[in-house]
Amino acid sequence: MSEDQPLIKVDNISLSFGGVHALREVSFAVQPGEIFSIIGPNGAGKTSMLNCISGRYQPQKGQIAFKGQSVIGMKPNVRCKLGIGRTFQNLALFNHMTVLDNIMVGRHHLLKNNFLTGTLYWFSGARKEELAHRREVEDIIDFLEIASIRKNIAGTLSYGLRKRVELARAVALRPDLILLDEPMAGMNLEEKEDMARYIIDLNEEWGMTVVMIEHDMGVVMDISHRVMVLDFGREICTGLPDEVMANEQVKTAYLGVGLDEEIEETSGEVA
């Protein structure tokens, strides 16, 4: 991939379910190292866009290129191996498993030893490989400050902590691109502040490019490099946070509530 090539490039993506148009000819590109946020009213097509990038949905029209390679038609697990990780709007943890085991699941596609070599655990590289993966997982646990719950059953945790565990599992993939679907939904003020800090650190210190859906406009405008607005499946504005905030089409899309007013309401929530 050349230095000036986008990490992810979306060209004229259209997606329909029966007669319902979820996305209509949406195009955008995200450069390596960006935090790129997608916003819009409920039903605008935001999660559908992430599902097209991650491979859960296959669009009827358009192209998606990751590192210059088309990923149209590829299954989600193949896209994970290429370096695309994600979290979900609705938690997708294994609630009966421990926090540690949930995060280890995120490493599984990186394992080199297969079933046959794994049976020779002590005599092959399987043991050494598992220890290396556990060290990686412990680094993530320390980074997200969840060491105290590492052996807890995921289903017994508070909603905010489960969101953090799901982020940990996505980070365990060591993706180049991480897709975050409402990472701060349902969180209190302190949890939002922590999550915003983690996202910035993943971007700046861990080198992950971020594409994020988030309804908290204060957070979006504070931490995003660029913002795209969807409305009824169409892209109506893409630009710097200040440019998006001043756009009249965007204000209209938010049912006549000025975006600056919405930001003012939430600006005190997350520093």
What is the sign, positive or negative, of the torsion defined by CA atoms of 186, 207, 242, 9? Answer: negative
Q: What is the CATH number of domain 1-83+176-271?
A: 3.40.50.300
**What CA–CA distance (Å, rounded) separates 254 from 95?**
36
For the ranges 9-13, 120-124, 259-263, the maximum mean pLDDT occurs at 9-13
**pLDDT above 90 as % of the chain:** 64
Q: What are phi and psi of 180, to 5 degrees?
A: -115, 115
**What pLDDT does 242 receive?**
93
pLDDT bin (cut points 50, 70, 90) of residue 1 is low
* pTM reported for the whole predicted model: 0.85
Q: Does pLDDT of 270 surpass 60?
A: no
SS3 assignment, position 243: helix
**pLDDT above 70 as % of the chain:** 84
Top pLDDT among 17 and 256 is at 17
Q: Where are the beta strands (DSSP E) in the chain?
A: 8-17, 20-30, 35-39, 61-66, 69-70, 84-86, 177-181, 209-213, 226-231, 234-239
pLDDT bin (cut points 50, 70, 90) of residue 58 is very high
pLDDT bin (cut points 50, 70, 90) of residue 108 is low
- Residue 207 token pair: 């080198």
Q: Does pLDDT of 67 surpass 90?
A: yes
β-sheet bridge partners, residue 239: 227
Tally of residues, the chain: 271
Among the listed ranges 102-106, 112-116, 158-162, 233-237, which one has the minimum average pLDDT value? Answer: 112-116
Domain layout of the chain by residue ranges: 1-83+176-271, 92-174
Q: Does pLDDT of 30 surpass 60?
A: yes
Long-range Cβ pairs for the range 143-146 (8 Å, 24+): 143/171, 143/198, 143/201, 144/168, 144/171, 144/198, 145/194, 146/99
**What pLDDT does 128 receive?**
66
**What CA–CA distance (Å, rounded) separates 10 from 13?**
7
